[in-house]
């Protein structure tokens, strides 16, 4: 799959400027890939949802949603980007190059989404789908319909709702690290009991999941 000329990720670009923009991180100046990332994020969700809908005709909405979330989460997209050697093709500013930005999950996943957006603008939806779907083929094959684990926040919410208890509150406790390598610290607490847990991660969402897991495990331990 790698790059060559104006081709990348199963697609030969008619407009090489789109490919260059998709590979350009904001640290390297404009035009960078953030607008393409916005477009690509929606396209990846649609392409994966379409594939799962066709593949699993008997799966309910919850199973389909969990499977899609598993396939399009940051770490999954970064793994695809690494298989494509996308990091080696990125255009980064000096600071990001020095700090190893080409290896960071957030930068790799964003660039992959930007690449999807660029393919769409270059050739339309069908060509974009045909180029992108093979990237997810192995991961989709490995998933079993209805067997994808629910994330920690969902499991905690369902545990509380089943017992008619109020939903937890998530609070951003702190942020640390430089802009290119932030760590988020989130506190998850129950409003009807003296129980809370903290979690950290490279995004607020990841930190919330870690905190929710802590609260859930504490509840299960005493239930």
Query: Which positions make up the binding site for Mg(2+)?
Result: 37, 110, 113
Q: Please state, in angstroms and rounded to a whole number, the distance separating the CA atoms of residues 74 and 118.
A: 19
The whole-angstrom separation of Cα 220 and Cα 102 is 40
Concerning whether 61 is annotated as a catalytic residue, the answer is no
The active-site residue out of 41, 74, 122, 208 is 41
Picking from 27, 1, 178, the residue whose alpha carbon sits closest to that of residue 107 is 27
Reading the block at residue 155, the tokens are: 């499991």
Instruction: For residue 159, count other CB atoms closer than 10 A to its CB.
Output: 15
* Tokens of residue 70, six digits: 């598993």
41 is catalytic: yes
Helix (H, G, I), strand (E, B) or coil at 176: strand
Yes or no: say if 122 and 14 are a contact pair by the CB < 8 Å rule. Answer: yes
Interatomic CA distance for residues 208 and 194, integer angstroms: 18
Give CA 203 to chain center in angstroms.
Answer: 10
Q: Measured over all CA atoms, what is the biggest interatomic distance in the chain, rounded to whole angstroms?
A: 61
Catalytic residue among 74, 96, 105, 113: 113
Q: How many CB atoms lie within 10 A of CB 93?
A: 16
Q: How far apart are CA 217 and CA 97, in angstroms?
A: 39
Q: Which residues form the catalytic set? A: 41, 113
């Amino acid at each position: 799959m790698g790059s060559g000329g104006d081709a990348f990720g199963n697609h030969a670009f008619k407009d090489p400027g789109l490919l260059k923009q998709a590979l350009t991180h904001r640290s390297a100046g404009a035009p960078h890939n953030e607008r393409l990332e916005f477009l690509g994020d929606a396209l990846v969700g649609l392409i994966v949802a379409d594939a799962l809908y066709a593949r699993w005709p008997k799966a309910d909405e919850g199973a389909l949603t969990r499977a899609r979330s598993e396939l399009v989460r940051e770490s999954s997209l970064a793994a695809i980007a690494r298989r494509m050697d996308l990091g080696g093709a990125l255009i980064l500013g000096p600071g990001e190059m020095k700090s190893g930005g080409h290896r960071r999950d957030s930068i790799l996943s964003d660039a992959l989404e930007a690449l999807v957006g660029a393919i769409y603008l270059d050739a339309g939806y069908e060509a974009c789908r045909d180029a992108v779907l093979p990237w997810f083929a192995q991961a989709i094959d490995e998933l079993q319909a209805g067997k994808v684990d629910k994330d920690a926040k969902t499991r905690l919410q369902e545990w509380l709702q089943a017992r008619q208890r109020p939903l937890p509150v998530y609070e951003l406790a702190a942020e640390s690290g430089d802009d290119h390598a932030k760590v988020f610290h989130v506190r998850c607490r129950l409003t009807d009991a003296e129980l809370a847990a903290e979690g950290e991660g490279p995004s607020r969402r990841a930190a919330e999941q870690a905190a929710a897991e802590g609260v859930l495990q504490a509840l299960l331990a005493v239930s």
